[in-house]
Amino acid sequence: DTAVSQTPKYLVTQMGNDKSIKCEQNLGHDTMYWYKQDSKKFLKIMFSYNNKELIINETVPNRFSPKSPDKAHLNLHINSLELGDSAVYFCASSQVDWRETSNNEQFFGPGTRLTVL
């Protein structure tokens, strides 16, 4: 059983198109995230959702819109794709717990490699 799954694994598209990446977790977690890893392998958080509410939004262009239909899903929709959007996008989830000793371990999906031509 895959804990955090993403579809598609690869996405090749033209500049200006609109595309979506889907993410699902079957861990029962209440928080989900999207990260972007660019060509230099720098991994940066984009968004986090807790119980379907946006918690973190890291200065991401508004062409990127996360949508959480329920706790188990966090999809990423990208409008008007640009060359610079080419990257690997990772979804993650965790069970956030604010007790001081908590780990809040994040579980990552396998990634979606987006190529914009």
Partner 1 sequence: DAKTTQPNSMESNEEEPVHLPCNHSTISGTDYIHWYRQLPSQGPEYVIHGLTSNVNNRMASLAIAEDRKSSTLILHRATLRDAAVYYCILRAYNTDKLIFGTGTRLQVFP
* Positions in the binding site for partner 1 (CB under 8 A): 4, 31, 41-45, 48, 56, 90, 92, 94, 96, 98, 100-101, 103-111
Could you give the CA distance from residue 19 to residue 13 in angstroms, rounded to a whole number?
A: 8
The residue (of 18 and 105) whose beta carbon lies closer to partner 1 is 105
The token duo for 73 is: 């899903």
| Shortest distance, position 90 Cβ to partner 1, whole Å | 5
The residue (of 31 and 75) whose beta carbon lies closer to partner 1 is 31
